[in-house]
Amino acid sequence: MKQKRINMRTAKMTFAQHSFFLILILLFSRVGIAQQNDETEKLIKEANAYMNQAEEALSENDFAGAEAAYRKAIAKDPSNTTAKYNMGNLYYNREKSGESQSRFVEANKVSENKEDRHKINHNLGNSFMKQKKYKEAVEAYKNALRNDPTDDETRYNLALAKKKLEEEQQQNKDNNDNQDNQDNKDQNEDQKDQDQDNQGDKGEDKDQDGKPKDEGDNEKQDPKDGEGDQENEKPQDQDPNEQNKGDQDQKDQKGKPDQQKQQQPQPAQGQLSPQQIKNLLEAMNNQEEKTQDKMNAEKAKAVKTRSDKDW
């Protein structure tokens, strides 16, 4: 069999071409990197120039000018830790704790050495202390000490922040306890008022003898020896004293029939008593009957006389 053979000339040309292209790529890469480095260095120089302007503005107490210069420096070099840190200090000294905290956090993210991170976290803790954010301050001071455990000032600030945090937590606990006690007190007072209202309602449902009103009324309305009907016939607007007096008189009259007879009202002077009137009426009736009998007898006699005469 005939074997296939590789054309060495073609293989050599192909290898040379590949090498050439590889060299070109490396050259262009180095040129690009060099250009990029030049651009980065240019931006860093511009950022440093703006930082110098900011320092000059601060020396003249030009807060607005310093702030504008720092912003331009950060725009040129976003990784500039010093620009962000100095801007955070600028806001901190101007009593703008919120803005200073934002800048310190940004600076801490781009910081590359422990010394810078220590300073940034220390000042961040101070900013939190101004806002009485003691829990956040404790964490910031701890981070500062992690980067420089030898700083006594940071250690003191951490102890102060912990103390303030404990006092705040105790105060919150006391306030919650007081609120709970007040809520319980209000609830007890409401319950007491409710109980008094209920007791008052029960008291209104009872008469003077302590019996329920419905029960007492039923007892009063129970008929006894016919007295219930008589009581119902009494006027409702009758005076209670007169009613009690009448009931007592009635009981006395029932208990003493003779006395009742003796206590019957006597006719006033010049007036006829009922018995006299009765006797008078009976006398008149008798007289009328006698007169009628007499007239009837006369009529009968007259009739008889006429009859006799006709005959």
Query: What is the three-state SS of the chain?
Result: CCCCCCCHHHHHHHHHHHHHHHHHHHHHHHHHHHHHHHHHHHHHHHHHHHHHHHHHHHHCCCHHHHHHHHHHHHHHCCCCHHHHHHHHHHHHHCCCHHHHHHHHHHHHHHCCCHHHHHHHHHHHHHHHHHCCCHHHHHHHHHHHHHHCCCCHHHHHHHHHHHHHHHHHHHHHHHHHHHHHHHHHHHHHHHHHHHHHHHHHHHHHCECCCCCEHHHHHHHHHCCCCCHHHHHHCCCCCCCHHHHHHHHHHHHHHHHCHHHHHHCCCCCCCCCCCHHHHHHHHHHHHHHHHHHHHHHHHHHHHHHHHHHHHHC
- The pLDDT, as a whole number, for residue 14 is 62
Decide if 114 is inside a domain. Answer: yes
The CATH number linked to 111 is 1.25.40.10
Decide if 84 is inside a domain. Answer: yes
Cα–Cα distance list, 165 to 97, 120, 132, 217 (Å): 19, 22, 9, 71
Decide if 124 is inside a domain. Answer: yes
- The pLDDT, as a whole number, for residue 38 is 74
Domains: count for the chain: 1
Candidates 86, 76, 70, 74; CA nearest to 46 is 76
Decide if 88 is inside a domain. Answer: yes
Residues with Cβ within 8 Å of residue 213, at least 6 apart in sequence: 204, 205, 206, 207
- The pLDDT, as a whole number, for residue 28 is 59
Decide if 85 is inside a domain. Answer: yes
Joined together, the tokens standing for residue 310 give 């006709």
- The pLDDT, as a whole number, for residue 263 is 45
* Predicted confidence (pLDDT) per residue in 120-133, tens digit: 999 999 999 999 99
CA gap 239, 231 in Å, rounded: 13
- The pLDDT, as a whole number, for residue 264 is 47
Decide if 151 is inside a domain. Answer: yes
- The pLDDT, as a whole number, for residue 8 is 46
Give the range of the structural domain holding residue 148, as residue numbers without chain letter: 79-172
Decide if 269 is inside a domain. Answer: no
Decide if 36 is inside a domain. Answer: no
Task: Output the tens digit of pLDDT for each of the chain's 311 residues.
Answer: 444 444 444 445 565 666 666 776 766 566 555 566 678 888 889 999 999 999 999 999 999 999 999 999 999 999 999 999 999 999 999 989 899 999 999 999 999 899 999 999 999 999 999 999 999 999 999 999 999 999 999 999 999 999 999 999 999 988 887 777 777 777 777 777 777 777 766 665 555 555 544 444 444 444 444 444 444 444 444 454 555 555 555 555 444 444 444 444 454 455 667 787 788 788 888 887 888 888 887 776 655 434 333 33
